Amino acid sequence: MCRKGFLVLLVSVFYQFCSSNQVALSEKLIFFDCSNNGYENFEIYQFYDKKRICIYSPKSKFFEKIKKENHLYEKLFNSSSEYVITGLDIAESVNFSFLKNKKFAVFTNATGVNSKLYNILEILLKNNIKPELLLEPEHGVFGGEDTVFNEVLTYDKKYNIYKLNLYSKIQKPPLEYIENLDSILIDIQNLPVRCYTYVSTLMYILEVADVLQKEVIILDRPHPYGIWKPMGPYLEEGYESFVSLAPVPFLYSMTPAEFVLYMALHRYHNLKIRIIKMENFDPALVDWVLASTWINPSPNIPDLETSLVYAGMVFFEGTNISLGRGTTRPFIYFGSPWLDNKKVIAELRNLNLPGVNFGLAQFRPAASLYKGELCNGIQIRPVSKDFHPIRTGYELMRIIKKYHSEFRIIQNAKGEYFIDKLWGNPSYRIAIENNLTYSEFEKLWIKDSEHFYNYIYNIRIYK
């Protein structure tokens, strides 16, 4: 065997050993200095573990540069918060100095754009910096796909870069694609619920980086779930899947950088992390979307309202209720040809659920469940921060089951329930089957979510 082949075999064996045992080897790491290699234009905001994990803010002069170049003093809407400045805008303001002379891959998608909507690849190439590889999540780098990819490796002729698709027959980057790189750059906007596949792909990337001890640079982005504390149970052993991989409660309410920081401290002890934090992000506010900070993260989340509803309605994916896929309002519209929507709405209104209104709707899906059929539906609208997504979705399912013998929680040929994979254990399904009140259901998982909230409080970047 040639020397190169032996080294690849050796790294692969080490990778398998670490994956199965999650060995912490941080004491063997080479010293990682927060202040070197192109970070002279930043202030050190915080660091952990002998500077293995570094969080940066830009020096003040770059704030003025960003505001001037992006007209951030002007406001189209009367927003109560300042404009959020993302990690990408900050990185662009220093001309990506920290990437000079580095070989790196980029994990991004259609959300990886600056305040003027230039995508990260355009910006990098404009600065004469070219990635070696693009890592594609579900829906692809440019967000136009809604299916599993057939090809693992493709070549993008427009940007002259290879793309490794991680929503294909592979979900984890093979070592040979990463081992010769210096860094992995991450710029992706996410919905912080465990079932959203971007976080599963991110976990696999972190696992590979941990084994190979590669630097991971995160350009942070906002999310709209900061108005809520974590909700739901930790993932239960035996229910792991691509829609349930992260060791967090179902709704974990963290930015991508906060999640990576948590994983670097909690599980991946060889990771070398650089975080370019956002500026002016207040998790308790959602009106920052008016400043064009929010980018729709996937084809079926077309607006902020849908992103808020998604966290509670996604469990209907494991039932015979249509979630409006193939309409202009997925997750906002839901129903079926047999649904007695007037009866369901009447009982919903009697509950006086906080922060949400319901209305009658009809829709004809152009895709997915009940394609081409006229559905009796309900429209859901969150109207204030009091909206509680998990309670709302649970009460809806409980009421629909109560009045409809046609309602089914779907089981596959192996006897598995998709709803169990989404939630991370069978308690949601069992509670619905036994008509538990929401209060009874909440008692099954509230200790997990409170434990997580207290555990991560001191490592949150934004409070």
Does residue 95 surpass a pLDDT of 90?
yes
Side-chain-side CA neighbours of 151 within 13 Å: the count stands at 8
In a domain, residue 433? The reply is yes
Identify the band that residue 14 occupies on the pLDDT scale cut at 50, 70 and 90: very low
pLDDT of 287: 67
Regarding whether 407 and 286 lie in a shared domain, the answer is no
* Full strand arrangement of the beta sheet holding 161-165: 42-48, 53-58, 272-276, 215-219, 183-187, 104-108, 133-136, 161-165, 153-156
Shared-domain flag, residues 130 and 269: yes
Query: CA 371, CA 302: separation in Å to the nearest integer?
Result: 20
Q: Which uninterrupted H or E stretch holds 276?
A: strand 272-276
Q: Are residues 282 and 312 both part of a single domain?
A: no
Please say which residue of 232, 265, 298 terminates a domain: 298
Q: What is the pLDDT of residues 108-136, one digit of tens each?
A: 999 999 988 999 999 999 999 999 999 99
What pLDDT is attached to residue 436? 98
Other Cβ atoms closer than 10 A to 39: 18
Locate 271 and state its tokens: 């990771």
> Residue 167 is encoded by which pair of tokens?
């929503």
pLDDT band at 415 (very low <50, low <70, confident <90, very high): very high
- pTM, two decimals, is 0.88
The mean pLDDT value for 204-221 works out to 97
Q: Is the pLDDT assigned to residue 103 strictly greater than 80? A: yes
Helices (H), 320-388: 341-351
Mean per-residue pLDDT, 309-319: 97
pLDDT at res. 334: 96
- 46 and 192 in a single domain? The answer is yes
pLDDT band at residue 22, thresholds of 50, 70 and 90?
A: very low
Q: Which residue would you say has higher pLDDT here, 63 or 11?
A: 63
Q: Is the domain of 103 the same as that of 158?
A: yes
Does one domain contain both 326 and 273?
no
Backbone CA torsion sign across 117, 122, 124, 127: negative
User: Domain holding 330: CATH number?
Assistant: 3.90.1150.140
pLDDT of res. 81:
59
Per residue in 243-287, pLDDT tens?
A: 999 999 999 999 999 999 999 999 999 999 999 999 989 898 876
User: Would 407 be classed as within a structural domain?
Assistant: yes
* Domain end call among 269, 298, 327: 298
Q: Tell me the mean pLDDT in the region 334-341.
A: 98
Q: Domain check: are 70 and 191 in the same one?
A: yes
Same domain? For 292 and 374 the reply is no
More confident residue, 16 or 425: 425
For tokens 């990778």, name the residue: 15
Q: What is the pLDDT of residue 16?
A: 45
Lowest mean pLDDT among 92-101, 145-154, 179-188: 145-154
Q: Alpha-carbon distance 219 to 362, whole Å?
A: 41
User: In the chain, pLDDT over 70 holds for what percent of residues?
Assistant: 89
Question: For 5, what's the count of Cα atoms within 13 Å in the CB-facing half-sphere?
Answer: 2
Q: pLDDT higher for 17 or 52?
A: 52
Cα 212 from Cα 173, distance rounded (Å): 12
Short-list 139, 153, 143, 138, CA closest to 120: 143
Q: Could you give the residue ranges of the DSSP H alpha helices within 2-59?
A: 3-21
Residue 210 covered by a domain: yes
Q: Find tokens 């015979």 and name the residue.
A: 320
Does residue 1 belong to any structural domain of this protein? no
- pLDDT computed for residue 76 by the predictor: 45
Q: 48 with 184, same domain?
A: yes
Which residue among 275, 298, 321 closes a domain? 298
Is residue 386 in a domain?
Answer: yes
Tell me whether residue 16 is in a domain: no
How many domains, in total, are found in the chain? 2
Domain that residue 63 falls in: 28-220+255-298
With respect to residue 6, please indicate whether it lies within any of the assigned structural domains. no
pLDDT at 140 (0 to 100): 82
pLDDT in the model for residue 25: 33
Per-residue pLDDT band for 361 (boundaries 50, 70, 90) equals: very high
Is 7 inside a domain boundary? no
- Whether 120 and 205 map to the same domain: the answer is yes
pLDDT value at residue 28 = 41
Q: What is the mean pLDDT of residues 140-150?
A: 78
Which region among 28-32, 42-46, 112-116, 366-370 has the lowest average model confidence (pLDDT)?
Answer: 28-32
Same domain, 424 and 276: no
Token pair recorded at residue 188: 């992706």
Q: How far is CA 25 from CA 207, 213, 403, 412, 451, in A?
A: 14, 10, 56, 41, 27
Q: Are residues 387 and 327 in the same domain?
A: yes
Q: Which two tokens mark 384?
A: 């204030």
CATH for 123: 3.40.50.12170
